[in-house]
Amino acid sequence: MTLRTLTAVFLTVLSLSLVQTSLASSNLRWLEYSPVRFFTDKDWELAKNAAREALNKKEDGQTVEWRNPDSNNHGSLTANATRTKDGRTCRDLVIKNFANNLEGGATYEFCQKPDGKWGTTRTMPGQ
């Protein structure tokens, strides 16, 4: 996954979570309770590095954990179900994050691009 793609995914969620308009009356209320809302820049950096390590270096089922000692925010990323799809290597990445006494997570499908970087293709159903 490219740093740009992972950054876009994380920053989109983060920026939406910072919207100060009446979240109580919108479909974005869930973001009030998302741990990524409380991530620091260092948290994002640690999470992105962990994602790259999980996708590039770990076997299916192996987990990479990250923790920021300054904020005490942390998470884990587990790469699973490596497969070939349309000639590309794809993996499911289970992401769990913890911040400000909140826990959140989802599973995303990532496929490797011709340049070797990873890009997300979809969120897995039921996550």
Structural domain boundaries enclosing 14: 3-123
Burial of 87 (0-12, 13-18, 19+ CB in 10 A): exposed
pLDDT tens across the length of the chain (127 residues) = 454 444 444 444 433 333 333 334 444 454 556 777 668 889 889 988 998 899 999 999 999 999 999 998 898 999 988 899 888 899 998 989 888 777 888 888 989 888 888 888 755 544 4
**What gap in Å lies between CA 105 and CA 127, rounded to an integer?**
8
Q: 16-50 burial, b if ≥16 CB within 10 A, otherwise e?
A: ebeeeeebeeeeeeebeebbbbbbeeebbebbbeb
Instruction: Look at the block and give the residue holding tokens 């996550």.
Output: 127
* Residue 78 three-state SS: strand
DSSP conformational letter for 21: S
The whole-number pLDDT of residue 72 equals 87
As for how many domains the chain has, the answer is 1
Global pTM value: 0.68
